[in-house]
Amino acid sequence: MKIGAWTAAVLASAVGSLASAQAISFGSSKAENYLQTADGVVTPYNDWSCVLSISADTVDAFSDCSITYAGPLSPLGLGIVGNTAPYGQVWYGYSTLHSTLASLDAEIPPGDYEFSFTGNALPGGTHTFTLPPSTFCAETPELVSDTYSRLQTYKNDMSLDFIGQMSGFADVPGANASAVSFVVYDVGKGGLFWSASLPPTAISFTIPTGSLEVGRAYFGVMYYTVSFSSPGAGINGGSHASSFSKNVFFYFNTRGPCPADLNGDTFVDDEDFVLFAQAYNILLCSEIAMPDKCPADLTNQGTVDDEDFVVFAQAYDQLLCNPE
């Protein structure tokens, strides 16, 4: 069944002389997200989504290109999401968020997606990418046993590796690139501090000491990803890849026992309120003007807002960081 024709209409540009031998890869990723808030407490976000991607192996491969097709994510390129050496340039198309997998599959159904294109990084012709039926693992991703609560207290002694547990998952027949993967980012400015990829059946992970910094708020994601990869199936040696991922988000910080003491004098008082108010007016931890590590984000959400003020006010009323 042909679902649609992808047309990569390449505009005249100064990069029109890119070699037609460039490797082009095609990919799809469907995902469901969860949130873990305590040991044994994992809640689905009830949002399912899909990303379709086209990538090349050099920087500026798709400059001045328009990538469209007769389907729901047209135009495919909502923006260039990657354009660095040695990874090359990547275009993404995002589905809408859906409350059920059936609804997502109705928008982005399995089947053959036919691309047609001319010029620039893409040689003239057509190419078919086959999106397989949605094939998620049966297991729900979760930090098991007391891993979540120990992660919350890891800040008390970061001199040792952190060793956590998860259940792992049973891989799907035919999948050949499945994995349990982790990323840990700074909540504020988004820098990646640690990542790992393990076999699907792995039941433990280790964050080496020194990977995380004192005084930061973090969010982590653990992915249970069933993946099908076909190296060489793309254009000029590029690949095809389709993944189906269940992802659980979790938050923690490595701040001290009195995080509302923003100036470090063991009191939460007017001086701290001035610092908090300045951060509150900036709002986003990602803003350049926000102090490093966004210390006023007391709820680990990437913003300094009313929820943080509630936490700050409670500490302000107490005054002393260690009352007798």
- Which pLDDT score, from 0 to 100, does residue 49 have? 94
Characterize the bridge pairing of strands 192-198 and 179-186: antiparallel
Q: Which two tokens stand for residue 319?
A: 């005054």
Kind and range of the H or E run holding 162 = strand 162-165
Question: Going residue by residue through the chain (324 aa), what tens digit of pLDDT does each one get?
Answer: 334 433 333 222 223 333 446 788 899 999 999 999 999 999 999 999 998 888 888 787 776 666 666 566 665 554 566 677 777 778 788 888 999 999 999 988 898 887 766 556 665 567 788 999 999 999 999 999 999 999 999 998 999 999 999 999 999 999 999 999 999 998 877 789 999 999 999 999 999 999 999 888 898 999 999 999 999 999 889 999 999 999 999 999 898 888 888 888 888 999 989 999 999 999 998 888 988 888 999 888 889 999 999 999 999 999 888 754
- Which pLDDT score, from 0 to 100, does residue 212 have? 93
Kind and range of the H or E run holding 281 = helix 270-282
Q: Are 46 and 99 in contact (CB under 8 A)?
A: yes
